[in-house]
Structure 1
Amino acid sequence: MISYLDKIDFSHEISKNNLLKILKKEASNIHIKEIMDASIYLKEDAKFMPSKERDEFIERFTRAFFIRIKDLKEDKETYHGQVNLVKLKEFFKILDKQRKNSKCHEELCFQKIAKIVATYTAFVKKESIHPVGTKFPGGFILRYENGVYYCPVKEKQLNTPGALCRFCVSVQDEMI
């Protein structure tokens, strides 16, 4: 099924409010079963992590999906400005490639929800793509202080082809 996001015309400017409307339509088509299937994918993807970290990772991302989808559906804010279409197109290209490489239904559900949530956070809300509190290897944590998102792995991931870090508003945590 072609999504509303797949129908965006990149030859015309799009406001953050119009992108929000499109994302709301997408979010309204997400069924609880898809979130559950995405959680199953997370469990499989994280199977080699230490159990405590794995359980926190799965719980945090599943909760983040629920919360972000709910926030998106209920968002009544007015967002000023236009979306950077060059960056959005590149962002979608990476996500669409990941989706095409999905190996199972559960991963497709994860990719669908991740695209909606990440687009909302990165291009409309201008918030960190990963939820605050996300733990990275070495025990480092994404944090938010004084209006700034600090990521412990941003610089190391900027040149990773499939990473979305270059679209994220977070900055490298220099305390690491």
Structure 2
Amino acid sequence: MNTSELLVKLQKDSREISNADISLARAYAMEAVEHVPEPYKTIYSADYFVFLYESFLKLKNCRSDEIVIQEIDPAEYEAALSSINEKNNTNDRKSDAMNRFITIVHIYLTFIVKKPLHPVGMVFPGGLKITEDDTFYYCPVKNKQTETGISFCEFCICKDSEEQ
């Protein structure tokens, strides 16, 4: 499969995400950080969800002539899908809605537009931020989160900030 074919698939899948699904996904994001102190509570819920939603809208409106067409490594693609699905709690409507939403957005960001899974400038504890230079994106927690089992960092295109 190439990026153009994947874009068509993701756009088809995005049409199956209703406004109710988006509301449930947002509620899930808000509840997931319920006990996190401010300002990180807002950053990791409302601000991050806005980033995801804006990416979702870009995906829905993206044209194939706006992307670089290249082959997608099937093993990497399947590993990303598997990782996302492993983290899903299908017995919970909010979690299920978030999983379907995240799957579409993360696959779009990773394989189609090659952007980080968090917005550039997003602040992490200690004031560290996701940054970019002319060539790469850098994340201050990439290597620390990759092995937690709850993040999707292993598929994010960011390099660890220590590599800068």
Q: What amino acid maps onto 2:112 in structure 1?
A: V
Moved over 4 A (4+): none
- Distance in 2 separating the partners of 1:163 and 1:56: 16
Displacement, 1:103?
Answer: 4.8
Alpha carbons of 1:126 and 1:108: their partners in 2 closer, same or farther (altered >3 Å)?
same
- Distance in 2 separating the partners of 1:92 and 1:114: 10
Q: What amino acid maps onto 1:154 in structure 2?
A: K
Matched-pair contact (CA < 8 Å) for 1:57–1:135: no
- Distance in 2 separating the partners of 1:167 and 1:149: 13
- Distance in 1 separating the partners of 2:162 and 2:148: 20
Matched-pair contact (CA < 8 Å) for 2:67–2:112: no
Which consecutive residues of structure 2, in runs of 5 or more, have no partner in the other structure? Answer: none
Q: Give the number of equivalent residue pairs.
A: 162
TM-score normalised according to structure 2 size = 0.89
- Distance in 1 separating the partners of 2:154 and 2:163: 20
- Distance in 2 separating the partners of 1:149 and 1:69: 20
Question: What CA RMSD, in Å, does the superposition of the two structures yield over aligned residues?
Answer: 1.9
The structure 1 residue matched to 2:78, chosen from 89, 92, 95, is 89
Q: What is the 5 A alignment of 1:134-173?
A: 134-173=122-161
TM-score normalised according to structure 1 size = 0.84
Displacement, 1:107?
Answer: 1.1
Percent identical pairs in the alignment equals 25
The DSSP-based 3-state class of the residue aligned with 1:140 is coil
Displacement, 1:162?
Answer: 4.0
Alpha carbons of 1:56 and 1:167: their partners in 2 closer, same or farther (altered >3 Å)?
closer
The structure 2 residue matched to 1:117, chosen from 97, 100, 105, is 105
